């Protein structure tokens, strides 16, 4: 299965778009966005991502838990997840507050990547 993937430059551009005035710009000095995205690439290489919903959930997990940005990592994870789905032909019906709560729970380890993928499947139109 071939997917359209996100790279560090596109994720960084998404991050810049979600920042509000006054929030800290840029990447965290001690974290690697490429390393976080590499976790997704490795899961693809080893056949651990079966569909676009798993891929989008993997991006959301890697970005939200990687804390690669000085601010807005979870909002960037949310936007990257949606863009991944859209680039691969999927739209979801969702409430922004609901998905925000899910991204926070994902970042805190309260829900897992597979639970996020299942939720995305349920919300697909």
Model confidence at 71, pLDDT cuts 50, 70, 90, reads confident
Mean predicted confidence (pLDDT) in 72-79: 95
Amino acid 24: pLDDT = 67
Q: To the nearest whole number, what is the mean pLDDT of the chain?
A: 93
Which tens digits make up the pLDDT trace of 18-27? 988 776 676 7
Greatest C-alpha distance within the chain = 42
CA 104 to CA 84: how far, in whole Å? 19
CA 65 to CA 32: how far, in whole Å? 12
Amino acid 31: pLDDT = 78
Higher pLDDT, 115 or 72: 115
CA angle at 35 for the pair 113 and 92, rounded to the nearest 5°: 35
Which tens digits make up the pLDDT trace of 98-122? 999 999 999 999 999 999 999 999 9
User: What is the assigned CATH class of domain 8-19+26-123?
Assistant: mainly alpha
Model confidence at 37, pLDDT cuts 50, 70, 90, reads very high
Query: What residue spans define the domains of the chain?
Result: 8-19+26-123
CA 56 to CA 113: how far, in whole Å? 9
């Amino acid at each position: 299965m071939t997917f359209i993937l996100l790279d560090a430059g596109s994720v960084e551009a998404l991050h810049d778009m979600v920042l509000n005035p006054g929030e800290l710009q840029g990447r965290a000095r001690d974290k690697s966005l490429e390393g976080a995205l590499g976790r997704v690439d490795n899961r693809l290489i080893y056949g651990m991502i079966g569909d676009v919903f798993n891929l989008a959930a993997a991006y959301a997990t890697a970005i939200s838990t990687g804390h690669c940005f000085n601010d807005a990592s979870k909002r960037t994870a949310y936007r990257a997840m949606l863009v991944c789905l859209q680039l691969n032909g999927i739209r979801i019906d969702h409430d922004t507050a609901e998905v925000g709560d899910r991204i926070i729970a994902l970042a805190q380890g309260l829900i897992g990547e597979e639970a996020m993928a299942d939720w995305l499947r349920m919300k697909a139109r």
